[in-house]
Chains A and B, each alone.
Chain A
């Protein structure tokens, strides 16, 4: 019988610990499919973050290094500078990348470090139970903004892709979403392109992935997907910010 659908080799065949309706699993799968299709598992080293995905080194079949909170781009830099012919990616959430790790991501980007960053933006801290993230939308209720994010107190949400796009270092930056099949397919292409950019030695690539956190948002999985489309995309528009015409 013809196999029409199977788990990617780059994913370890174990149950993931993510909540129902969380899109981490989808993002992992897209990365793994890209690794399979580019046939780079043997030479890829992934860097795990601090956050819900802290132990995704158990899920990817390539070599993995777990990093301190926010430091994944620095860790990836260390790896890549030792192994320039290998493929190095980081997987980071919005607290990790856009709060505690702001310095590391900005400088890895401006150095044009030849690594790929998969940036999961779900507007909240998941692992520590629902605190405000730098990307939390105005008015959004979290455990640390129980009355909604107030710009007078908490400032404004950061648009990471747009901010990094002002730098000269990055070769490719795109924001994608996982809220429906059509967008998941586009996200897959973006992830794959990011790896190809690295393989071609073009420099820093980042894919910002709009994701869900039904548990901490207090929404059902279906409602969570709708929130991404209705509330997040208007604030975080999808598209390519750097490297739209880059052929790799």
Chain B
């Protein structure tokens, strides 16, 4: 059963959010994610929801902060330069422990950069991005079907931990069309929202949503609470895919659309008698350290492939802690690594370790 449709990645994100019970979307146009807005503008009124085009990215994220304060499911989306603008609000949302979902369909930077796909916001997404000791949960889909599944999941994770969850995609994922299988009905979990500022109706004490604690002892305790939450998330929510790893000579590490390219590389390498595997992080925060524990002994080396100068590779090295060699190959600025780029690096590594 279900509904099988050929849809664009960006539109699937929007549809998935609506299916997950999100009825409030605030955003600002930027390529290559604007179809999310277009879809929301059309669909939200039909489902009794709210679509609002904000005057700026800053306003949009603060509208999200306000809506999240009421306990409603809410989302915003943007692309790299717009996400930079939203960092203020993201930090406040982290500080106030509000659940919300944000989408970053990455493009090349820094600055205005370009509009072609990139993964150069990995640091920003996984290490905080704004000021303060905080994290978002960062999900990295690699197909249109996964954009659907993980967008729904993003709302559940956000509510479960009172945290901002980011869908981190790139221009390829946002723009491409694939077949998506929608379930007939979403299982929408319900969560305790007794903390929400939605009017006490003279039935309880007043609720206060805030991120300010001027007493450093209090703020430290608040931070310890946040860190404990991140530890819990790290225990519970690591997601990854291991593909072809069982007897791999080299394990490629890649996420999102680059992981798809790596699967192509694995096929081509197999034809040449080279055994490659793929470790694909699906959660970038929490970083799937469990996956590395599982396959650490198998390959001679790991090769991280990214559309960046090498950002995730730092987490790969931190996880492997020198126990295996870690290499990197990547492209920047909106250039996509080719099968050839990756294969020549594979051969270079093989020569070194054979």
Contact = CB atoms under 8 A, between A and B. Distances in A.
Chain A in direct contact with chain B (Cβ < 8 angstroms):
yes
Interface of A: 12, 41-45, 47-48, 54-55, 57-58, 60-68, 71, 74-83, 86, 103-104, 106-107
A66 B206 CA distance: 13
Given A66-B211, A74-B63, A81 B50 contact: yes
A213 B145 CA distance: 58
Contacts of B187: none
B132 to A, nearest CB: 12
Sorting the interface of chain B by its residue count into under 10, 10 to 19, 20 to 34 or 35 or more gives: 35 or more
B63 A66 contact: no
A83 B74 CA distance: 13
Contact of B64 (A57, A78, A80, A103): A78
Contacts of A42: 199-203
Given A68-B89, A78-B65, 17 more contacts: A45-B198, A57-B210, A58-B208, A64-B209, A65-B65, A66-B211, A67-B62, A68-B65, A68-B92, A71-B88, A74-B59, A74-B62, A78-B70, A81-B67, A82-B72, A103-B56, A107-B54
The CB with the most chain A CB atoms within 10 A, among B60, B89, B198, B208, is that of B208
24 contacts: A42-B202, A43-B199, A44-B199, A45-B198, A45-B199, A54-B212, A61-B206, A62-B206, A64-B206, A65-B209, A71-B88, A74-B63, A74-B65, A75-B62, A75-B66, A78-B69, A78-B74, A80-B66, A81-B52, A81-B67, A82-B67, A82-B72, A103-B55, A104-B59
Main DSSP-derived SS at the B contact region:
mixed
B261 interface: no
A73 to B, nearest CB: 8
Contact of A107 (B55, B65, B206, B210): B55
B222 to A, nearest CB: 13
B227 interface: no
Contact of B65 (A44, A62, A75, A83): A75
Contacts of B63: 74-75, 77-78, 81
Given A81-B50, A104-B55, A104-B59, A55 B212 contact: yes
A103 B63 CA distance: 13
Contact of B70 (A48, A62, A83): A83
A104 B62 contact: yes
A215 to B, nearest CB: 18
A82 B70 contact: yes
B207 A63 contact: yes
A62 B200 contact: yes
Interface in B49-89: 50, 52, 54-56, 58-60, 62-70, 72, 74, 88-89
A66 B55 contact: no
B148 interface: no
Contact of A79 (B56, B70, B92, B200): B70
A57 to B, nearest CB: 5
B199 A82 contact: no
B232 to A, nearest CB: 25
B197 interface: yes
A12 B56 CA distance: 35
Nearest to B67: A78
B269 interface: no
B197 A79 contact: yes
Contacts of A75: 62-63, 65-66, 69
Contacts of A61: 206
B41 to A, nearest CB: 14
B96 interface: yes
B239 interface: no
